[in-house]
Homo-oligomer: A and B are copies of this chain.
Amino acid sequence: MSAETGLREIRRRRTRRALLDAALSELAERSLGSLGLREVTRAAGVAPTAFYRHFRGMDDLGTALVEEALASLHGTVREILTATGEADRRGDAVVRLIGDLVRDRPAHVRFLVRERHGGVPAVREAIAAQLDVFADEIGAALGCDPLSAGWETGEVTMLSRLLVDHMFMTASAFLTASLRGEDWSAATGTALAQLRLIHVGRVHWAGDRAR
């Protein structure tokens, strides 16, 4: 295993964390592309050159942040998929889990939402690739569901992509709600209703497809 609890390694990890955190807090109201290497090191309380001991450049720092943010998101997705219960109860669980994620790691979520279509190609593509993986996982889970009996694979993937995108818009809604103040429950209600609408569409999909 890679325990690596040397004193030196501890220091190393600490400043690496400081760099990531500094970048993350700076990214609250800025975009990655407009973030300078020196700004990050200054906010982290480290000399500019120390940056290169950890990252090749800002793109590298960006992809590291993607990995980190998607790790927590992956955990959330896994929880969602393994959540048992009736299909419409599962919607409640999804919205609640996304809300928890936004509460626990707002900076990570904001980073993902912002850089998904952002100006740094490497980061953008890293996020897109991982979201494709998520969509596939969700699609696989959906395929096992009795509600999807008789669905073509193309139909399943279009649904899972819709769900992934809806996850992102829900997260974004939670973020703006959290910094605008008190309409958190309204955002929850909206997301729940939209998810339920999609669910209803799913239930009656096969029946209405003929027409």
Give residues in A with beta carbon < 8 Å to B. Answer: 27, 29-34, 113-114, 116-121, 128, 154-155, 157-159, 161-162, 165-166, 169, 172, 176, 189-190, 193-194, 197-205, 208
Copies in the complex: 2
| A29: B residues at CB distance < 8 A | 119, 121
B202 and A190 contacting across the interface, CB-CB below 8 Å: no
In the assembled complex, 29 residue pairs joining A and B whose CB atoms fall closer than 8 Å, in A order, are A29-B119, A29-B121, A31-B31, A31-B119, A33-B33, A34-B119, A116-B117, A118-B119, A154-B189, A154-B193, A155-B193, A157-B190, A158-B190, A158-B194, A159-B197, A161-B194, A162-B166, A162-B197, A165-B165, A165-B169, A197-B202, A198-B198, A198-B201, A200-B204, A201-B202, A201-B204, A203-B204, A203-B208, A204-B204
Give, as a whole number of angstroms, the nearest-CB distance from A25 to chain B: 14
Bound together, the chains give a CA A172 to CA B43 distance in angstroms of 34
A197 and B201 contacting across the interface, CB-CB below 8 Å: yes
A31 and B118 contacting across the interface, CB-CB below 8 Å: yes
**Residue of B with least CB distance to A34:** B33
